[in-house]
Chain A
Amino acid sequence: MCSVGDAFNIEITSLEAKFFKCDECRNEFRGIGRKVVCPSCHSNKVKPMFKEE
């Protein structure tokens, strides 16, 4: 899914990462994966958001 080190082999913009917002602590972050949790408070009450939000 992601490679590192050999950095030229990854187009980071092509990752299907979404912006998320935590319902608990309002933290905003960009993430990818099936079980996304807030990196700040570890809550799983996170929602995808639009970039414009």
Chain B
Amino acid sequence: MIPLDHDEMLLLKGMEGVLGIVKAGEHNKFFLETDKEEILLFLEPEDLLVASGFEKDEKTMKGLKCVLYMIRELGSPFIVLPKKHPASRRLKIVVSAGDRTRISCSITPGTHPEQDILCGSDEFDGVEIRGVKGGVEFKNLKEVQIDRIPFKI
């Protein structure tokens, strides 16, 4: 287990992409907005918000923090686009929320009904991330650099 406090963020730096992870914390209510309805997602403090960026540059890492900050601290909603929406391919960062996230680099549009899969770069393929008390547990994680940084803008 890698320790993670509620005021910290984990950065997993791969060769092709980066993951940012924060605890859901006390901000337990999140909004999922589809084109048809609004769904409220209630998380536990030890659950995780995981953001995946498809570049590894400094801008992407700052972007991960900003996206997670907007979601957790400002309460920005999750916008769920309809399938095949043209905006999907424009996105630089995607986010998952829950007690467990699995990273996949080989998912095909429209074929994955699982709710806990998040797109990621090759080196994170198959990685499972689980929020546990006081930290984060990983499965299938290869050698990547992991930094624990303050979660503040």
A residues bordering B, Cβ < 8 Å? Answer: 1-12, 14-15, 17, 29-37, 39
Contacts and interface: CB of A to CB of B under 8 A. Distances in A.
Contacts, number: 113
Interface residues of B, number: 43
Contacts of B95: 3-5
A28 to B, nearest CB: 11
Interface of B: 28-29, 32, 34, 37-44, 47, 78-85, 88, 91, 93-101, 107, 109-110, 112-119
A52 to B, nearest CB: 17
B40 A35 contact: no
A37 B40 CA distance: 9
A11 to B, nearest CB: 4
Shortest 4 CB-CB distances between A and B: which pairs?
A1-B98, A33-B42, A7-B81, A5-B94
